[in-house]
Amino acid sequence: MPRHPVTLVESSAQGFVAFISENTITVTDSTGKTIASTQATEDPSVARIPAAPGNGSIRAATFSLTGKYFAVCTNDKSLVIYATNGWTIQRQLTSEKRTNALAFDPSETHLLAGDKFGDCTQINIVEDTPGQVLLGHVSIVCALAFTHTSPPFVLSCDRDEKLRISHYPSAYNIRAFGLGHTEFVTSVATLSGAPHLCLTGAGDATLRLWDLDGGLLRTVELEPLLQKYYAEGRARCALANSFEDRTAATQRYGVLRVRAAESLGAFIAVVERFPVVIVLPLQDGELGEPVLVDVAGPPTDVAPVDRG
C-alpha cells in the first residue's frame, strides 16, 4: 500500500484496486496485498509497472469492464494503456490536448478520452491509429461513463452543468441532455441492475438520478444530510495552514465522486471535506434513503471492492 496521500482510487471486476498519488501507481488485490507498482520493490511477486513518461501527475485513470486493461492520463498530456495480465504497456501516446476523463467502451476495443476543451476522442486500444473525435462539449469534460444497455450509450458530464447522453459509437446522435444541476457536474455512474438509470454528482451540493431520456427522477440535497459535520467541527480541508484551510468556514458540499457498488445494488458517493461515505440503495428503480458511513478522514476518492 502507498505511504503517501492518495488522490485517485480505481477498482476492477478482477478485484484489482489501483491507488494513485501524483505519478505513482500501486495495485493491490482485494485483500490489500500489493501485486504491482511503478516503484521498485524487493518482493519478486510484485510486478513492475512502467511509469508514464515525464513527470506529470496522473489526472484520471480507469479499468476496462473485465479488468483486462487499465489506462491513465497525466497533466503533461501523456496517455498510457496497460494490459493487466503482465502490467505491460499496450499503447502509449501523447494527446494534443490535456485529457481530463477516461472510459473504456464495453467491448474493450476502444478508450474514450475527454479533454479540457470539450472533445471526447475514441482511441483504438490495439492499433496504432489516430484517435477520432466522437463528440464535443463547449467546456471541460469532467467525467465519462458507458451504460449497461445494449447497445450502450456514452454519458459525458461537463463544467457547464450538463449531462449528455449520446448513442455509441455514432455519438453525434444525441439521445438527451440531463439539465438541472446549477454547478459543474463532477461524476456519473450506472448500475448494471438498472441499466436505464444513472446518478450524477456536482458542485451544487446535490446528487441526481436520471433516466436515459434526460428525465430527472430524484434530487438528493446534501446540505441537510451533512451540515451536522460542520456544526460538530468534523468537516475540514485536508491541507492545514493553506488558503483552502483559511476559507474552511465557508460551507461547501461539492461531490468528488459517485460510483456504482454492484454487489450492494447501490450507489456510493464522497463529498469534498466530509469524513463520510454516502450509500444510496437502489430498489425497483428508486433511490432509498441515504446511509452515512463515517470514516477517519475526508476521502479524496472512493471505489467499491467485492471481497467475494
CA distance 284 to 278: 20
**Terminal-residue alpha carbon distance, the chain:** 21
| Average pLDDT over every residue of 283-289 | 93
Q: Are 298 and 253 in contact (CB under 8 A)?
A: no
Cell of 102: 477516461
Cell of 121: 476522442
Percent of the chain clearing pLDDT 90 (strictly above) = 85
Question: Is residue 283 predicted with pLDDT exceeding 60?
Answer: yes
Mean pLDDT of the chain: 92
Encode pLDDT of 106-135 as tens digits: 999 999 999 999 999 999 999 999 999 999
CA distance 106 to 131: 18
Q: Are 90 and 69 in contact (CB under 8 A)?
A: yes
DSSP at 105: -
In order of 36, 81, 93, 126, the CA distances from 90 in angstroms are 16, 5, 10, 7
Q: What is residue 104's predicted lDDT score, i.e. its pLDDT?
A: 98
CA distance 308 to 296: 25
CA distance 135 to 114: 9
Encode pLDDT of 133-184 as tens digits: 999 999 999 999 999 999 999 999 999 999 999 999 999 999 999 999 999 9
Nearest to 280 by CA among 300, 259, 297, 295: 259
Other C-beta atoms closer than 10 Å to the C-beta of 281 total 15
Q: Which strand (E) or helix (H) includes residue 230? A: helix 222-231
Cell of 122: 475514441
Encode pLDDT of 39-88 as tens digits: 999 999 999 999 988 888 999 999 999 999 999 999 999 999 999 999 99
Please, which pLDDT band fits residue 3 given cuts at 50, 70 and 90? low
Amino acid 205 reads A
Please, which pLDDT band fits residue 307 given cuts at 50, 70 and 90? low
Please, which pLDDT band fits residue 306 given cuts at 50, 70 and 90? confident
DSSP at 184: -
Give the pTM.
0.93
Encode pLDDT of 207-227 as tens digits: 999 999 999 999 999 999 999
Cis peptide before 151 (omega within 30 of 0): yes
CA distance 235 to 248: 8
The residue that leads in pLDDT, 230 or 69, is 69
Please, which pLDDT band fits residue 239 given cuts at 50, 70 and 90? very low
